[in-house]
Amino acid sequence: MLYVTLVLAIAQASMVAVGADMTTACRLLAESIDESGELLTQQDEIYRRALGYHGDADPAVRATAPAEFEDSYDLMLAVGTLFYDLMSELSGYSGVSAVLQEIKDVTEQIVEASRACIDYSTQAIAAYDEGRIEDQQRLGVLSSEQRDLIGPLNARMLELISSLWAMLRCPDLSIEVPGDVAADEGASFDGIEVTWTSSENADGYRLFRTTAGCDNRDPWELVADDISADETAYWDEDVLPGETYSYVLEPWVGSRPSEGGDTFYGWYSQCASGYVKDVPTAPEPPALLASDGDYEDKIRIEYRLEGASFFNLYRAEEGSNRYQFLGYVYPSSDYYDDVPPEAGTAYSYKMMARAAGCSGTGCYTDYSEPDTGYMPVVGSPAAVQATDGEYPDQVVITWNAVTEGGPWTHTVERAEAEGAFEELDGAVGLSDTTFIDTDVVRGEEYSYRVFSTNTDGPTEYSESDSGYVFDGPAFPDPPEVTASDGEFEDKIRITFALYGASYFNLYRAEEGSNQYQFLNYVFPSRGYYDDVPPEAGTLYSYRMIARGAGCSGTGCYTGYCEPDTGYMAEPEE
């Protein structure tokens, strides 16, 4: 009934990816056609059922026909209201006002004709029951004749809606939509392959994606706009683990979209969602520390190995980007001893890690932040270290004394910015190997060096080291932690808020115990951590401390958060 052919053609596509790249007007029209199609299908079923009751030999059955006709009429009124609302929504679009007015007029005529048809059918039943119509079969014939009054109106409505669809420049339904769209679900670490079957009359496709799901009505991201018609797959490598990506294809004919000519677009394909394989226990870029003159025969590089299969270690002279690969470093040790070419020269070290149990290019982290270290020249103070933002009002300088030829006294010199080194007040003739500099200003960075003196005279200067007082970002509040209570049979999920933190330290203890065990570092890339405790059904307590983002030193940690308890459910028997 009515324009059901067009309704079904558009309704099958109208709810697929309407948010990808379609105008609001087309979406509104498609949604109205879709909803009216459902209403008209119901109306047609009820009306046909009413006609059957109308012509039934049983008077009791015939008596139910008027109520069925009324239900049919109510659905026609709902269709009319739907299109009245649509006319209001589209009234602001230029050039379509005349078509909108005629659609409104034809809708009103259809509703009036339906009312007349229903009234006539009701009167025909009464006429038959009163003996004014002798042939029972004429009941249905009369109603059908009355119903045929709507036929021309239906045809005109179909023409009007088709015209409106074209005027609003909605997608060309004659362009065949690519089918069988599918996206890899965890097949690779490096990307997602999207596949489809080709359209017979399209010249090419555009591919869109979103991370908001197939029902997303906001704009979708255009991934590729010049996919050839003979291609049936696309490799999307710009993806992240933990994200689900939804894809639709839009066929086109004419000029390639990138050429700016006449291009005509069809409707969108079905939506398919995919994701990359999660990197198992993916590590963050490793944190490393190179020794500053602590050893006379080597530089020791220490690092954190959580979640890594192995590390690649590189070295360059300080100030150079020509890093040399030194070797693979495995989790069996937490340090690597390097014998550099020269003592007294500062070298820069950096690493990247490969996730444990993972293979492929997507399994490697970025390079770590580099750290410099040196092997001392024997005969001068070594391993000078100045604190970097660990204290708000002082810089603490420490060093290793010369091991031979003592006794020694020590003198500390300081330089500001590009200035010259000068002796510090109170830092001359020291017997200790620690000096606290309190004549400091927040925001300033200072360089320190040390020389030692015995009865034979002074040594050479040590290597310098820079230091500063804390002037970092605001600390985060202690994190809020929630542990799951029996929601999983294979883990306890700990969720937390990550705002303002660089990373968290996570601890666990059995409830009632203060013997908390360090579990792991937790980074802002996820909002939860899954722990497999020793026993199911046992209550465990979890707590955290956070380190301020962009901050280093002991002063950057929050206090412990309030603990929360959780447990792992016992498997059902």
Q: Residue 495: which CATH number?
A: 2.60.40.10
Where are the alpha helices (H) located in 148-261, listed in sequence order? 151-167
In the sheet with 517-522, reading across from the earlier edge strand, the strands are 517-522, 501-510, 540-548, 564-566
Q: Is residue 61 part of a domain?
A: yes
Mean of all residue pLDDT scores within the chain: 78
What is the pLDDT at residue 128? 66
Q: What are the angstrom distances between the C-alpha of 227 and each of 232, 257, 354? A: 9, 10, 34
Local confidence pLDDT in tens for the 573 residues of the chain: 334 334 333 333 333 333 333 456 776 777 777 777 777 778 778 877 877 776 676 777 777 877 887 887 787 778 777 777 777 777 766 677 787 788 778 778 877 777 776 777 677 667 766 666 555 445 544 455 555 666 677 777 777 777 777 676 676 667 788 999 999 998 887 789 999 998 888 889 999 999 988 887 677 899 998 898 889 999 998 998 889 999 999 888 887 877 777 777 777 888 999 998 775 544 566 778 999 888 878 999 988 766 677 888 999 998 888 999 998 888 778 889 999 988 768 899 998 887 766 666 667 777 888 999 988 766 678 889 999 877 767 899 998 888 776 788 899 999 998 889 999 888 888 888 999 998 888 788 999 999 888 876 788 888 899 998 876 554 456 678 899 999 999 999 998 876 667 778 889 999 888 888 988 888 777 788 899 999 998 999 998 887 766 666 555 667 678 889 999 998 876
Res 232: pLDDT: 92
Closest CA to 435 of 385, 390, 396, 380: 396
Co-location of 346 and 245 in the same domain: no
Please check whether residue 473 lies inside any domain of the structure.
Answer: no
Identify whether residues 35 and 117 lie together within a single domain. Answer: yes
Q: Give, rounded to a whole angstrom, the gap between the first and last alpha carbons of the chain.
A: 57
Name the helix (H) or strand (E) containing 35.
helix 24-54
Enter the pTM of the model. Answer: 0.35
> End of a domain among 373, 402, 422?
373
Residues 267 and 322 in one domain: no
Widest distance between CA atoms in the chain: 141
Tens-place pLDDT, residues 557-573: 676 788 899 999 988 76
Choose one of 322, 351, 373: the last residue of a domain: 373
Rounded Cα gap, residues 185 and 277, in angstroms: 7
Say if 10 falls within a structural domain: yes
Q: Do 389 and 516 have their domain in common?
A: no
pLDDT recorded at residue 12: 37
Residue linked to tokens 């956070």: 546
- Among 239, 274, 309, residue at a domain's last position: 274
**134 and 224 co-located in one domain:** no
Answer yes or no: do 57 and 135 share one domain: yes
Q: Is residue 339 part of a domain?
A: yes
30 and 102 co-located in one domain: yes
Those residues with Cβ within 8 angstroms of residue 493's Cβ, 6 or more apart along the chain or in another chain: 483, 484, 487, 528, 529, 530, 531, 566
**Edge to edge, what strands does the sheet with 382-386 contain?**
382-386, 395-400, 434-437
Per-residue pLDDT at 555 = 59
Q: For residues 526 and 538, is the Cβ–Cβ distance under 8 A? A: no
Q: What is the pLDDT of residue 551?
A: 65
Percentage of residues in the chain with pLDDT exceeding 70? 78
Q: Are residues 251 and 392 in the same domain?
A: no
Give me 349's structure tokens.
């070290």
- Between CA 86 and CA 93 the distance in angstroms is 12
Nearest alpha carbon to residue 564 among 503, 466, 499, 496: 496
Would 548 be classed as within a structural domain? yes
Reported as a single tens digit per residue, the pLDDT across 439-482 is: 888 788 999 999 888 876 788 888 899 998 876 554 456 678 89
Distance of CA 457 to the CA centre of its chain: 65
471 vs 400: CA distance, rounded Å: 28
When divided into structural domains, the chain yields a total of 5
Q: Convert 262-297 to b/e letters by CB count within 10 Å (16 or more is b).
A: ebebbbbbbbbbbbbbebeebbbebebebbbbbbee
Same domain for 104 and 163, yes or no, is: yes
Does 35 map to a domain?
A: yes
pLDDT digits (tens, 9 = 90+) for 9-26: 333 333 333 333 345 677
- 220 in any annotated domain: yes
Do 407 and 331 fall into the same domain?
no
Choose among 52, 47, 48, 55: nearest CA to 128: 55
Is the bond preceding residue 407 a cis peptide, omega within 30 degrees?
yes
Residues 524 and 457 in one domain: no
41 and 122 housed in the same domain: yes
- Tell me which H or E stretch contains 88: helix 65-90
* Whole-angstrom distance, CA of residue 369 vs CA of residue 430: 35
Which structural domain, as residue segments, surrounds residue 34? 4-167
Has residue 172 been placed in a domain? no
